[in-house]
Amino acid sequence: MTRDEVDAFLEREFPQVHHGGRTYFIEEVGPMSARLRMAYHERHIRPGGTLSGPSIMALAELALYVAILAQIGPVALAVTTNLSFNFLRKPAQRDLIAECRLLKLGKRLAVGEVAMRSDGESDIACHATGTYSLPDRR
Amino acid sequence: MTRDEVDAFLEREFPQVHHGGRTYFIEEVGPMSARLRMAYHERHIRPGGTLSGPSIMALAELALYVAILAQIGPVALAVTTNLSFNFLRKPAQRDLIAECRLLKLGKRLAVGEVAMRSDGESDIACHATGTYSLPDRR
Amino acid sequence: MTRDEVDAFLEREFPQVHHGGRTYFIEEVGPMSARLRMAYHERHIRPGGTLSGPSIMALAELALYVAILAQIGPVALAVTTNLSFNFLRKPAQRDLIAECRLLKLGKRLAVGEVAMRSDGESDIACHATGTYSLPDRR
Amino acid sequence: MTRDEVDAFLEREFPQVHHGGRTYFIEEVGPMSARLRMAYHERHIRPGGTLSGPSIMALAELALYVAILAQIGPVALAVTTNLSFNFLRKPAQRDLIAECRLLKLGKRLAVGEVAMRSDGESDIACHATGTYSLPDRR
């Protein structure tokens, strides 16, 4: 699927991702990869201007799902089985960019990693790895 | 700290946890442990009535933080360094209960595990482990 | 499978686990659980008398495999897909006991946790969670 | 430290890594990175010619340690606090190459990732992330 097709699929199947105003944006999908942006929005902010852990984790989970959808097509039934996060640095007070790379796309399991950086920075703020269980395909 | 003290501390320091209406409740704190409840609320729900991954991950992160606060007192500066989740079963369409147990409370690091079950069930829906880095104490 | 059946199966299929003299012992298998012992042996020791990380990780992986075998029977083809370890304390200079509990035994995936303690101690030295991918069964 | 200095330090402080004949080799250290090789050796092999999980995990742990030593100098006291592995593909019947990249080198914690591939292949056989707790430095 192209970027726009993934976007339309998510809006149709998971409208509540954008509940309260859209803050997650797909910037690009490629072979075994995806880049997403999370807008710096009061909903994601904790005291001191830092981004909340759950908003960062939601970005990573979504980035993995987008990268998988782009490869295997509209499969609502892929489910996360494992997610693991290393929080490395306090993110800056701006958008957070997630670069996802699939490490494996097997028949049953897809595994990927996500590096999240504050927009314009090179240091990784949070690194995630995750596994999705894929439905049987024909 | 007692349950009520932790509750008051969180409301003062992290009011946005309850943004949109309180859905996370501390039920009990004990030695090296805590039990929390996440109310089944439309904000946390995905199509088909299932709970969203991020709402479950937020519950686990909060349960760990509550268990640590109860042990070491009001320390706003503890930061999550690692969180790891195994999603085992689709949770039922009701409240989710988190039982947190600290496995280690060291000078620098606290490590714990969280078992999350649908209210009234014995099977674990999601299991998490996490590490917090603790500020220097005197 | 009983404890002795699992033991015989491992010796037949994975004799190299005991390469250099047997140091891993199955103490008990039960419903969704297993207990193993790793003998304190010079092969596993690092300077200062501590146990090596890899010997501890090997014990955890084996404990999960034993618990799964006891449930589903002799299936050489189960493969580890994910293992995650929190090293909590330096183990004492004696045997290490692993208590494994399966959290899920699905059609495709088995997930469990392993708590490892020095013999006779209550504090956990290392905590692991792991996932095995199971072959199709009939 | 240079490659040779790290090598000499490990041989002096952790001779048992090479117990039974040297199979782990440091190929290169660089800024925040290291590359190691594990020789295909009967000691690491399981039935069917596959490499054992513990030998792969040992390689990852060592690669992280080497990358940290190269940055901070001879510190025997760094200890692993967390290691997480995704086993993606059965490695081929030859040497395994580990590429380690440090994602963070803080005052207290170092975090890195390790991609392990069969020699000459581009697909990752196992991906690891790990955290070391660092001793106080002056």
Nearest chain C Cα distance for residue D57, angstroms: 6
For the cut 70, the answer to whether the pLDDT of residue A73 exceeds it is: yes
- Mutation to test the C interface, candidates B32, B82, B86, most C Cβ within 10 Å: B86
The strand pairing partners of B86, in sequence order, are: A82, B127
Q: Which of C84, C108, C111 sits opposite A108 (nearest CB)?
A: C108
Mean pLDDT score across all residues of chain A: 92
What pLDDT, on a 0 to 100 scale, did the predictor assign at position B137? 67
Q: Do B85 and A87 touch (CB under 8 A)?
A: no
Chain D hits for A103, CB-CB cut-off 8 Å, are: 86, 88, 124, 127
**How far is B65 from B132, CA to CA, in rounded Å?**
8
Q: What percent of chain C has pLDDT over 90?
A: 77
pLDDT tens, position by position, C44-69: 887 777 899 999 999 999 999 999 99
For the cut 70, the answer to whether the pLDDT of residue A117 exceeds it is: yes
* Average pLDDT of span A74-101: 93
Buried b (16+ CB within 10 A) or exposed e, A81-107: bbbbbbbbeebbeebbbbbbbbbbbee
The residue of chain B with its CA nearest to that of D111 is B81
Cα first-last separation, chain C: 17
What pLDDT, on a 0 to 100 scale, did the predictor assign at position D43? 81
Cα torsion B96, C30, C127, B121 to 10°: value is 0
For residue D51, what are its two tokens? 């490499």
Chain D hits for B85, CB-CB cut-off 8 Å, are: none
Q: Do C81 and D84 touch (CB under 8 A)?
A: no
What pLDDT, on a 0 to 100 scale, did the predictor assign at position C19? 72
For residues B64 and B130, is the Cβ–Cβ distance under 8 A?
A: yes
For residue A90, what are its two tokens? 């306090």
For residue C77, what are its two tokens? 């083809």
- Kindly report the number of other CB atoms within 10 A of residue D49's CB atom: 12
Q: Where are the alpha helices (DSSP H) in chain C?
A: 3-13, 53-72
pLDDT in tens, chain D (138 residues): 999 999 999 988 887 777 777 899 999 999 999 999 999 988 888 777 789 999 999 999 999 999 999 999 987 678 999 999 999 999 999 999 999 999 999 999 999 999 999 999 999 999 999 999 998 765
What pLDDT, on a 0 to 100 scale, did the predictor assign at position A14? 81
Q: Do C87 and D86 touch (CB under 8 A)?
A: no
For the cut 80, the answer to whether the pLDDT of residue C75 exceeds it is: no
pTM of the model: 0.95
pLDDT category, A47, cuts 50, 70, 90?
Answer: confident
- Alpha-carbon distances of C102 from C29, C30, C109, rounded to whole Å: 11, 10, 11
What pLDDT, on a 0 to 100 scale, did the predictor assign at position A137? 67
More confident residue, B78 or C70: C70
Q: Give the three-state DSSP class for B137.
A: coil
More confident residue, A29 or D41: A29
Kindly state the helix (H) or strand (E) to which residue B12 belongs, with its residue range. helix B3-13
**How far is B130 from B73, CA to CA, in rounded Å?**
19
| Residues B40, B41, B44, B47, CA torsion sign | positive
Q: Do C61 and D54 touch (CB under 8 A)?
A: yes
Nearest chain C Cα distance for residue B57, angstroms: 17
* Average pLDDT of span A67-96: 93
* Average pLDDT of span A95-105: 98
Helix/strand/coil (H/E/C) assignment for every residue in chain D: CCHHHHHHHHHHHCHHHHCCCCCEEEEEEECCEEEEEECCCHHHECHHHCECHHHHHHHHHHHHHHHHHHHHCCCCCCEEEEEEEEECCCCCCCCEEEEEEEEEECCCEEEEEEEEEECCCCCCCEEEEEEEECCCCC
pLDDT tens, position by position, B32-75: 999 999 999 888 887 777 899 999 999 999 999 999 999 999 87
pLDDT category, A84, cuts 50, 70, 90?
Answer: very high
**How far is B131 from C6, CA to CA, in rounded Å?**
35
| Residues C38, C44, C48, C49, CA torsion sign | positive
The residue of chain A with its CA nearest to that of D89 is A104
Strands B126-133 and A96-105: unpaired
Q: Out of B112-116, C11-15, C96-100, pick the least confident.
A: C11-15
Chains C, D: CB contacts under 8 A, how many? 72
For residues D7 and D69, is the Cβ–Cβ distance under 8 A?
A: no
